[in-house]
A and B are shown apart, each in its own frame.
Chain A
Amino acid sequence: MSLAHERVPGPAAFQRRGRIRPGDALLYVVTLAAALSGVVLLALITREVLVEAWPAMQKFGLGFLTTQAWGDHNKTLFGAKSFIYGTAVTSLGALLLATPISLAIALFLSELAPRWIRRIVAPLVELLAAIPSVVLGLWGILVLGPFITGTLGPALHGSFGWLPIFASKPTVGSNMFAAILILTIMIVPIVSSICRELFVGVPQELKDGALALGATRWEVVRGVVFPYARAGIAAALILGLGRAVGEAIAVTQVIGNNVAIHTDLFKPGDTLASRIAGQYQGADTALQVASLVYLAVILLVFSLIANLAAQLIVRRVAGRHQIR
């Protein structure tokens, strides 16, 4: 990216003998407007969402985050606790499953596979990312759900029933476990493709040096590739987490839409995004609408933090590896 730093300087350079070419000025203005539209849009989105959520924020305050209720007391009490819990469990669970799988796939595609396998498998993994979430949800309802209640659930409950997360046998296909599996399928392609590029970008000299010292392939990965790409992997994982947190459609199709908080993964639950998707259309009181947008505010705050954290990590790394 060294070319990016050799930019032609700004408006000052357009001035020739004190005259700015009108074409250049026009281009500058038009492109500046386009670029600023992003900033303006971001501010607008934040403002509109906050304004819409304000009645609920005013009524419930921060206690909203710790109240477990939805529509109680004649639809005057709403709280986000169940959904924050559901979002945390499903996203972190998906991340837990996706991390080793994505790293392994990235390793496979960058280090292990011969070129011809790479050319076949890499597009296939990308294609997994291209499957729309509503189609994954459809598959989740009609294929994964019955599979969980029929085969996978009883097997997990039978072998690991002593763990609180598998404490009961799933009775219905809509549960948090299904949501975790669907989210895993969604974030694996994203994380693995970023990690693959990171691993490919590790300088060959470093890897060769380790190999020359007698390291096995795995030891090269563990000792050279991972530490080198460590920050980028963290950023990729955070981005994957952000994707999982924001997913509304596929989750609402398979999670069961229940407000109770269970440790058992085979019970239904709900997440922030999923509740918004499920109820917004039908919210028939102003307070319910405001509460749903309050959920969106929480979601927005979280995704902003995750995004900024990932950006920060990437920028720090870019600064560090500047000598190229």
Chain B
Amino acid sequence: MKAFVTRRKRLAGVISVLAITASAIAAVSVTGAQARSGADELKGAGATFPAPLIAAWQQKYEAAKGVKISYNPIGSGGGISAISNKTVDFGASDAPMTPDQFSACGGCVELPWALSATAVMYNLPGLPNNLHITGPILAGIYLGQIKKWNDPKIKAVNKGVNLPSTDITPVYRSDSSGTSFNFTTYLNTVSPKWKSQVGRGTTVNWPAGVGARGSSGVSGVISRTEGAVGYADIAYALKNHLKFFSVQNRAKKFARPGLAGIQAAAQADRKFNPQSNELSIVNPPGSARFAKAYPICTYTYVILRTKSEKANLLKPFVTWALTTGQQYGRPVIFQPIPKYVVARGKATLKKVHQ
């Protein structure tokens, strides 16, 4: 009988330990829940392209207004699907949503809130920065036709540079990416072969090279791989000390992805798409006005639900981002958006309500 009583005591002991642990977890969670629900916060996810600017906004906005912004850079496609699935308060994408995506989203608006350039980065040790490259050469590289760095076409635009015989490894985004959308749109305009064989999109069937996740992933692969070339927002090239090309624009000048090049390109399109507010500034025309334009620039967009519980927090934040926030872009090479874009953004924002 004594053994039986001891067993029962032990079982009771085990059960009480479990009960205490379970209630402890529950108590902590509930306290945590109560503590969190008081805090003002906005949750966003999407493109990696504007992440450097959004990181600056996170700091400045919390300091100024006390609202915490959290942002997960999972790619433009991720941003579109997250806002459509209602898992975030705002989504970010460099690719404008298609009409199908708008209907799947079920009551969403999109507006441009930042402006920057897609740099084409390369890893060629010992060679200078800002080598020259043209659109057709880039298309040839990504089609897998131009395979070595000392290819005559590349040598032709880089006279006097001792290009090695290293193999070219094109790097692209393996996830659904607005930067891919921007880059492939550019390749479409400079290469009919690319347009017919591959086309443009956030995901395409890349004929050659390796994929990496996110702009950081692309930068990572390039930094580890000699002879690699890839595309990402210019801030990533600078942050990771990667060299990047001067790309030839339609005015036949080789332009760098700096604030001046972006500002010149921004004027290329002033006609907003009625549904997505898209402005396509890729490969501006060859007139004198665009002599300095960098040919692979893009606006990047924020996507909001028209009916959102957090509208009272979202609207001030987006308004701040469109106006005060733009000044924090310059250090990370985001050119402040033109006034007509700000005006359009504010007008679109009126559609968002609680």
A283 touches B104 (CB 8 A): no
Name which residue of chain A comes closest to B205, CB basis.
A72
Contact of B275 with A by CB under 8 A: no
| Stretch of A29-37, A120-128, A200-208, A274-282 at the chain-chain interface | A274-282
Within 220-252 of B, Cβ neighbours of A (below 8 Å) are at 220-221, 224-225, 227-228
Contact of B61 with A by CB under 8 A: no
| Stretch of B195-203, B262-270, B314-322, B339-347 at the chain-chain interface | B195-203
Within 193-217 of B, Cβ neighbours of A (below 8 Å) are at 198-199, 201-213
Secondary structure at chain B's binding surface: helix, strand, loop or mixed? Answer: loop
Q: Report A269-305 CB contacts with B as 1/0, cut-off 8 Å.
A: 0000000001101111110110000000000000000
Residues of chain B touching chain A, judged by Cβ–Cβ distance below 8 Å, are: 74-78, 80-81, 98, 100-101, 104, 167, 169, 174-177, 198-199, 201-213, 220-221, 224-225, 227-228
A171 touches B169 (CB 8 A): yes
Residues of chain A within 8 A (CB-CB) of B75 are 281-282
The 7 closest A-B pairs by CB, nearest first: A257-B211, A282-B176, A282-B77, A257-B174, A284-B77, A256-B210, A71-B203
Residues of chain A within 8 A (CB-CB) of B220 are 141
A282 touches B81 (CB 8 A): yes
Contact status of A172 and B221, CB under 8 A, knowing A283-B77, A284-B176, A286-B104? yes
Residues of chain A touching chain B, judged by Cβ–Cβ distance below 8 Å, are: 69-75, 141, 145-146, 149, 171-175, 256-260, 268, 278-279, 281-286, 288-289
A258 touches B224 (CB 8 A): no
Contact status of A171 and B225, CB under 8 A, knowing A71-B205, A72-B205, A282-B177? yes
A284 touches B199 (CB 8 A): no
22 contacts between A and B (CB under 8 A): A71-B203, A72-B205, A74-B201, A75-B202, A75-B203, A172-B210, A172-B224, A174-B212, A256-B210, A257-B174, A257-B211, A258-B210, A259-B205, A268-B209, A278-B175, A279-B203, A281-B77, A281-B81, A282-B81, A284-B80, A284-B101, A285-B104
- B210 CB to nearest chain A CB (Å): 4
B175 touches A282 (CB 8 A): yes
- Other than A70-B203, A268-B210, A284-B78, give 17 A-B pairs with Cβ distance below 8 A: A72-B198, A74-B199, A75-B203, A257-B174, A257-B211, A257-B212, A259-B205, A259-B206, A282-B77, A282-B78, A282-B81, A282-B175, A282-B177, A284-B80, A284-B176, A285-B104, A288-B203
Contact of B227 among A171, A173, A175 (CB under 8 A): A171
Residues of chain A within 8 A (CB-CB) of B104 are 285-286
Residues of chain B within 8 A (CB-CB) of A146 are 224
B206 touches A281 (CB 8 A): no
Residues of chain A within 8 A (CB-CB) of B227 are 171
A285 touches B76 (CB 8 A): no
**Complex-state Cα separation, A258 to B202, whole angstroms:** 15
- How many pairs, one residue from A and one from B, have CB atoms within 8 Å of each other in the complex? 100
Residues of chain A within 8 A (CB-CB) of B209 are 258, 268
- B147 CB to nearest chain A CB (Å): 10
Residues of chain A within 8 A (CB-CB) of B206 are 258-259
A283 touches B212 (CB 8 A): no
**Complex-state Cα separation, A73 to B206, whole angstroms:** 12
Residues of chain A within 8 A (CB-CB) of B213 are 278
The residue in B78, B203, B221, B225 that gathers the most chain A C-beta atoms within 10 A of its C-beta is B203
B221 touches A174 (CB 8 A): yes
The residue in B74, B104, B202 that gathers the most chain A C-beta atoms within 10 A of its C-beta is B202
A284 touches B81 (CB 8 A): yes
Name which residue of chain B comes closest to A169, CB basis.
B167
- A211 CB to nearest chain B CB (Å): 47
Contact of B205 among A69, A175, A279 (CB under 8 A): A69
Contact status of A145 and B224, CB under 8 A, knowing A75-B203, A283-B77? yes
- B122 CB to nearest chain A CB (Å): 14
Residues of chain A within 8 A (CB-CB) of B203 are 70-71, 75, 279, 282, 288
Contact of B211 among A149, A278, A281 (CB under 8 A): A278
B174 touches A284 (CB 8 A): no
Contact status of A285 and B210, CB under 8 A, knowing A71-B204, A146-B224, A279-B175? no
A173 touches B225 (CB 8 A): yes
